[in-house]
Structure 1
Amino acid sequence: MVSPQVSGPAMTPDPDAPLLPEGEAEAVGGAKSPLRRCIASGVVGEKDGMIRFVVGPDGTIVPDVEETLPGRGLWLTADPALVEKAVAKGLFAKAARRSVRTPADLGAQVSGLLRRRCLDLVGLARRGGQAVAGFEKVAAALRAKAIGTRSGIGLRLEASDGAADGRSKLDALSPGIPVVDIFDRGELGMALGRDDAVHAVVGAGPLVQRLQREADRLRALSKGR
């Protein structure tokens, strides 16, 4: 998704200025705006590519990957270098304007939460009849462009440790369909109610949009690792 243009200092922040201007609301540009400011870079971007954090009741920084926890959110771009920078340089305390406790393994916590959320969404798709697994079932769904009576394929899942030949055959049947390949066959199998799973598809719809977003954020946080 292309972010709206943000004029002025928001796109080229002064490195000597406060990363979160005093009094700035959590949403940049209005209560319903999708824009947020990253506390590590100072750059404004769409929240779809960012992670929300809040200060917990005991003063600990808590990842809020579902964006439901109360309190003013502190946002970071989904980039491991920026998460490390925020932890190392005490940027959460600076942004919150109070003393906070920042877990040293915060990046690992976020990745773990996103990973679990992705797999939970895969499981939800299976229970709702919106996902199938196994080479033959996936191939049939791709040819029919449907899963059962549900039309449209929204996403393919390929195990990171699966064989290349089966994947290449499915590639030929699914041009233009996004592929998520950041989970191994054991993880996919558990989410899909099987011992293991190498190939799966999820039907088009709102659920697959949520899954794609979480997978994109997880992939971004895993880059270079």
Structure 2
Amino acid sequence: MAERDDDRKAPERTCVATRRALPADDLIRFVRAPDGAVTPDLKRELPGRGVWVTATAEAMRLAVKRKAIARGFKEPATVDPALPERVDELMERHALAMLGFAQKAGRVICGFAKVEAALRDEPVIALVEAEDGGADGVRKLGQALARHGKASEVRVVRTFRSAQLDLALGRSNVVHAALLAGPVSAAFLARCDALVRYRGVNGEGPDPADAAGPTRRGAGEPAGTDRA
């Protein structure tokens, strides 16, 4: 039991792909199921010996290519070649689940008009906008951020599609949502950060100062595409 606790609680672990020692929060833990299949343990809760990989898709692909994960268990283990994509899906699902918890806690406001009002009256810490939403709404909310002096303090997250936001929030046609301050909201943003780091892309929308000006991205889109 002590060995298991040490594995999960150690402040640093070594990535089997890069051989670099990193803080545990910067890595993903994997365990071996009874049938030998390797399973991601994003919450670090599963028992057994753990193998750690730097929490980026690049490191994951390298670990799979070099068969470093299987070797790390020192006993027969089966690694799905699509494990990097599976990890991405799990991280995305966990982030959206936390957004759903924020909704249940009353920390999410949906709908363009309500979001615009919230930017004026509520402790908004982030805008969550569908990555496939219309550019006109992005521009208008950017203008609202600038108008209320919040362009530098409110994040813009454009990591998820509208259909994904619909499922997470239990609504239809979600394009714009305001995230109010709170522990669950902070946890959601932390999971978004982990996801975009894993993907190696910028998961935030255009800079609010840019969004407040003439729209360059998505030129030619119809202006009336904003829904909820």
TM over 0.5: yes
- Residue 7 of structure 2 corresponds to residue 26 of structure 1: yes
Shift of 1:111: 1.1
Q: Which moved more, 1:152-161 or 1:167-176?
A: 167-176
Tell me, yes or no, if the aligned pair for 1:187 and 1:196 is still in contact at 8 Å.
no
- Do the aligned partners of residues 163 and 110 (structure 1) sit closer, same or farther apart at CA in structure 2, a change above 3 Å counting? same
SS at match of 2:28: strand
Task: Write the deviation string for residues 6-60 of structure 1: whole angstroms up to 9, x where unpaired.
Answer: xxxxxxxxxxxxxxxxxxx536xxx462x33222112222333322211112221
Tell me, yes or no, if the aligned pair for 1:40 and 1:82 is still in contact at 8 Å.
yes
Q: Give the residue type in structure 2 aligned to 1:63.
A: P
Q: How many residues align?
A: 190
Structure-1 residue corresponding to 2:34: 57
- Residue 92 of structure 2 corresponds to residue 115 of structure 1: yes
Tell me, yes or no, if the aligned pair for 2:17 and 2:66 is still in contact at 8 Å.
no
Unaligned runs of 5+ in 1: 1-24, 147-151
Cα separation, 2, equivalents of 1:42 and 1:208: 34
Aligned pair partner of 1:178 in 155, 170, 176: 155
Q: Give the residue type in structure 1 aligned to 2:134.
A: A
Shift of 1:139: 1.3
Cα separation, 2, equivalents of 1:85 and 1:73: 18
Tell me, yes or no, if the aligned pair for 1:159 and 1:197 is still in contact at 8 Å.
yes
Aligned pair partner of 2:113 in 128, 136, 149: 136
Q: Give the residue type in structure 1 aligned to 2:45.
A: T
Q: Which moved more, 1:131-140 or 1:90-99?
A: 90-99
Cα separation, 1, equivalents of 2:133 and 2:72: 43
Where relative contact order (Cα < 8 A, 6+ residues apart) is larger, the structure is 2
SS at match of 2:194: helix
Shift of 1:184: 0.7
Shift of 1:171: 2.7
Unaligned runs of 5+ in 2: 1-5, 202-228
Tell me, yes or no, if the aligned pair for 2:10 and 2:24 is still in contact at 8 Å.
no
Shift of 1:106: 0.5
Shift of 1:213: 2.2
Q: Give the residue type in structure 2 aligned to 1:197.
A: V
Q: Which structure has the highest helix share of the two?
A: 2
Provide the identity percentage.
Answer: 35
Cα separation, 2, equivalents of 1:48 and 1:200: 28
Aligned pair partner of 1:153 in 124, 127, 133: 124
